[in-house]
Amino acid sequence: MYPVALSDLETHIEPEPHLPEIRIEHVSRYLSRAIERAEVAAWLDLYEAAPADFAAQHGLAIARDGDIVWTTCTTIPFIHFNCVKNIGVDGPASEAELDRLLAHYRNAGIMRPWFYTNPHTEPSRLRCWLEARGLQHQGGWERIFRDATPLPVEPVFPPDPLIPLDDLTAEEVTPRTASQWASFIDSKYRLPTSPWLMALVGRKGWHHYMLRRRGAVEAVRSLFIGNDGAAWSGIDAPVPGIMAQSFDLDAMLGERLLRDGIAAGAKLFVADIEAPLPERDGPAYRNYDRLGFKLTYLRDHYSYLPADSG
């Protein structure tokens, strides 16, 4: 009898047939590895850019053993800063490997490390191993991707004709505006990461954008293009569907990133929908579909429940 993860035993109510509002492509294991590596490369470079004094103050570190990469931060309980980025992605994980990673976080005083899984992670019973050690499925993000097919010449998301053009402008972050960009992100996430973020402005591979309305920053998003041409989009705020009701500003920024990324030579673009919907409809799905993205899978997240969850 094959082992079954508890999440597989949850009651599932079959929804009525519904056409997703984004194209879905079931990718090969080879392509899924390339997709996941695009994000891992961004985080490796992001941690490398961290100022030494900031890293020492916050116990910030990134480590790798073979292909597996994991992050640590002893003072900021943020999912990205204490997670195993790619267990089981580039090769089958083992229980001994999982136990070593959990021991690392226990020894560092991290109460809630995070692990990601997707339909291609190996072995398939990895989720069972996580649950057997007390970690539980806690949602996930939709993984989306596209190639470098050019966008139409005309804007995909034209500005609202009722809003003067000078009221809403997208611009790339420069050293002169870096502090505004970093402060905006920290204010939205309630984080102290401005010194770290500012070290990314002007750094090779990184492109950061702000959308302003009447001079005030309204939304931000970044793009990292690796040496292999794979680009990861993230460091976005406010997160549509979670921090903000509107998806329009993020869509406009996404179009700007995509156009600039293609011009810069990016070959593969990877991003996430962080507020997934079971029927895969709604503005996030529609907007990314208009930008040529396809949905490949839901990346599941596992961690321990918060101490105050009961």
Where exactly are the structural domains of the chain?
27-142+300-309, 146-297
For 103, residues 6+ apart whose C-beta sits below 8 A from its C-beta are: none
- How high is the pLDDT of residue 308? 57
Please report which helix (H) or strand (E) contains residue 235, including its range: strand 230-237
Is there a contact between 73 and 60 (Cβ–Cβ < 8 Å)? yes
Cα distance between residue 288 and residue 18, in whole Å: 18
Reply yes or no on whether the pLDDT at 16 is more than 80.
Answer: no
Q: What is the pLDDT of residues 126-157, one digit of tens each?
A: 999 999 999 999 999 999 999 999 999 999 98
Instruction: Give the mean pLDDT of 282-310.
Output: 90
* Mean per-residue pLDDT over the chain, rounded: 92
Instruction: Provide the token pair at 22.
Output: 């984004």
Reply yes or no on whether the pLDDT at 5 is more than 90.
Answer: no
- How high is the pLDDT of residue 18? 74
Query: Greater confidence, 7 or 100?
Result: 100
Mapped onto helix, strand or coil, the DSSP state of residue 189 is: helix
pTM of the full structure: 0.90
CATH of the domain spanning 146-297: 3.40.630.30
Q: What is the pLDDT of residues 169-223, one digit of tens each?
A: 899 999 999 999 999 999 999 999 999 999 999 999 999 999 998 889 999 999 9
